[in-house]
Amino acid sequence: MKEKERARKLWEELLSKNPTNDDLWYVIVSVASLREEAWKQLLKQNPTNDYLLYVIVNVDSLREEAWKQLLRQKPTNRDLLYVIVNVDSLREEAWKQLLQQNPTNYDLWYVIRYVASLRKEAGKQLLRHNPTNDDLLHVIVNVDSLREEAWKQLLRHNPTNDDLLHVIVNVDSLREEAWKQLLKQNPTNIDLQYVIVYAASLREEAQKILSEKEEATPSSPTSPPPVHKRTIDDIIREMRAL
């Protein structure tokens, strides 16, 4: 009883000093007996979305209420991504809200990277969003079930040698196919050296092609030594030596 009375007096004292949202956030997280009152006060002080996100992630008893308040305050895509990644119980709902807000390719990329349960669905969305080659590579590497579809799209996008090298090094199932495509695109010596270092199964073949290229390339003639242009100091130095 004394502890409750003490907490009540401290709370009234805190209110008399016009606590900031940071102060209220600290009470919400740290003082269970005053959590509800601090939360009500926080709502009166127009909390930003960030404060609501802190509550959603860290305070189970206020999670649903804070989530509803966040929706009323129109969460940004960044806000929703934070919920999707950090709160299992609200993941599906936050994902549906994100889809309604026209997620960017980066938003979808982020979900693929950090949320395994939504990886396939986010990958499908990304493939419909005019993906760049980098987007396609992200799907190829991270979404097994969409790998072939993304690979076919990449081939239609005229992949660069760097794109193909990324597949060769990171995707076993497409390594041979990406290697054949790279050979059609006249790989540079640096490309071949990269394969030699990072793709053991192709090392011998890449080394052979590199050696043949180097043998077929005539050595550059020795450049003449640079001509030194005489300066005034050179001329005066020569005069002094007379």
Half-sphere exposure of 146 (CA within 13 A, CB side): 24
Distances in Å between the alpha carbon of 127 and those of 106, 111, 153?
12, 14, 9
Of residues 54 and 4, the one with the higher pLDDT is 54
Percent of the chain with pLDDT over 70: 89
pLDDT at 11 over 60: yes
Distances in Å between the alpha carbon of 206 and those of 75, 119, 172, 217?
51, 34, 17, 17
pLDDT (0 to 100) of residue 5: 82
What value does the mean pLDDT take over residues 212-228? 64
pLDDT one-digit tens code per residue, 85-134: 999 999 999 999 999 999 999 999 999 999 999 999 999 999 999 999 99
pLDDT one-digit tens code per residue, 95-104: 999 999 999 9
CA 185 to CA 132: how far, in whole Å? 20
For residue 95, give the nearest of 106, 111, 109 by alpha carbon.
111
pLDDT (0 to 100) of residue 237: 53
pLDDT (0 to 100) of residue 227: 46
What is the chain's length?
242
Which range has the worst mean pLDDT, 25-34, 138-147, 227-236?
Answer: 227-236
For residue 168, give the nearest of 139, 141, 190 by alpha carbon.
141
pLDDT (0 to 100) of residue 220: 54
Output the average pLDDT for the chain.
Answer: 91
pLDDT at 216 over 90: no
For residue 11, give the nearest of 65, 103, 30, 201 by alpha carbon.
30
CB of 123 within 8 A of CB of 133? no
What value does the mean pLDDT take over residues 199-208? 96
Q: Which residues contact 167 (CB under 8 A, 6 or more apart)?
A: 137, 140, 141, 151, 154, 174, 175, 178
Tokens of 52: 């609501």
Q: Which residues contact 16 (CB under 8 A, 6 or more apart)?
A: none
Q: Which residues contact 125 (CB under 8 A, 6 or more apart)?
A: 99, 103, 108
